[in-house]
Amino acid sequence: MTRALALVLLLACPALRDARAADCLDLGLYGSVLQAHTRSVADLAGTRVDYAALRISPQWADVRNSLALCDPAKFATREERLAFWINAYNVLAIDLVATHWPVASIRDIGSFFFPVWTKTAGQIHGKPYTLRQVEDQELRALGDPRIHAAIVCASVSCPALAREPYQAADIDAELDRAFARFVANREKGVALDRGASTLRLSRIFKWFAEDFEKQGGTLAMISRYLDADDRAWLERHAATTRREYLPYDWRVNG
């Protein structure tokens, strides 16, 4: 009996090691660090991040290191991939700013010829990734434009950073909530001025118009998240409503 038990444990150990290796981006730790080093605010940023504290936090280093251990190929479902890559983008963006803190804007980390979006932001499973690679090659390829309300480029006019990780099991509900919050923010999301027949939009809707076209267009996408009165008004006046884009504040959300 003892020898049989020993054999079982011997055979199980590699499997257990493999299971631990498959676990990546410690969401519990990431969530606790977000709670400790971010705060909800009433200003345009929505969430402020304590980058100075994160720069020297051993817990943040553990979050970053746990992301580096991930093998994205192990995520089989759309939900798993969405949650993983959204969290990965946000961790890498936060880490870029924390590593270079203090900076006035994430764009200051790059240059005209080598913008920050094309700089290596970190490694995942031994492969270097830039923010642009994560956004364009991984997230946008999944065909869900709601990601643009969830990934946060550490800037004031970005959607407010969620203070908890995204979870595969709830990703669709979480993305709906994130997109609804962004659309409801008249200062940096969507502002419908019926009197002036003007729809003022975040420049995100301009930069990534192609993504929204795949869902019926920007107006159709936005309308799903407006209140009933605004939705009905926009449907009646879509052809005559002027579209403008809100200023984009690139100051860091620190």
What confidence tens digit (pLDDT) does each residue in 97-135 have? Answer: 999 999 999 999 999 999 999 999 999 999 999 999 999
What is the tally of structural domains in the chain?
Answer: 1
Split at pLDDT 50, 70, 90, the class of 250 is very high
Question: According to the model, what pLDDT value does residue 211 have?
Answer: 98
pTM for the whole structure: 0.91
Q: Is residue 175 part of a domain?
A: yes
Strand partners, 200: 191, 244
Question: According to the model, what pLDDT value does residue 23 have?
Answer: 60
Q: Where do runs of H (alpha helix) occur along the chain?
A: 2-22, 27-37, 51-55, 58-68, 78-100, 131-132, 171-184, 204-207, 209-213, 218-223, 228-237
Q: Is residue 16 part of a domain?
A: no
Given a cut of 50, is residue 11 above it in pLDDT?
no
- The arithmetic mean of pLDDT across residues 159-182, rounded, is 98
Q: Could you count the other beta carbons within 10 Å of the beta carbon of residue 150?
A: 26
Split at pLDDT 50, 70, 90, the class of 16 is very low
Q: Is residue 232 part of a domain?
A: yes
Question: According to the model, what pLDDT value does residue 148 have?
Answer: 98
Amino acid identity of residue 5, one-letter, is: L
Taking the CA atoms of residue 204, residue 205, residue 211 and residue 213 in that order, the dihedral angle to the nearest 10 degrees is: -170
Q: Is residue 9 part of a domain?
A: no
Which residue range is the domain that position 110 belongs to?
A: 21-245
Mean confidence (pLDDT) of the chain: 92
Strand partners, 242: 198
Split at pLDDT 50, 70, 90, the class of 183 is very high
Q: How far apart are CA 70 and CA 232, in angstroms?
A: 45
DSSP-derived pairing of the beta strands 242-245 and 198-201 = parallel
Given a cut of 80, is residue 232 above it in pLDDT?
yes
Q: Is residue 203 part of a domain?
A: yes
Q: Is residue 253 part of a domain?
A: no
Q: Is residue 180 part of a domain?
A: yes
